Structure 1
């Protein structure tokens, strides 16, 4: 459940940033999501795969 809460909070931050117009394109949003996910130790191996 802790993992799920982390993802919920991450998505809330992304939504807030989009609503504040700090994110101007889908490309920016995707890059931010990848950065957020890559900081997760559990998903580290998948993040390396995505950035290749």
Structure 2
């Protein structure tokens, strides 16, 4: 996976956390927190996989 992909995932975490902070409803807040968590999980999967292949 390219470094740009990890940068994209990291940026999405930041964006989704900010959107959660600014959300106008509890449902929107929850949805954005879930998206941030999904991006964090993807980062962990990718970086874990890369470490195993080194």
- TM-score class normalised by the smaller sequence: 0.3 to 0.5
Q: TM-score, normalised by structure 1?
A: 0.44
Relative to its length, the structure with more helix (as a share) is 2
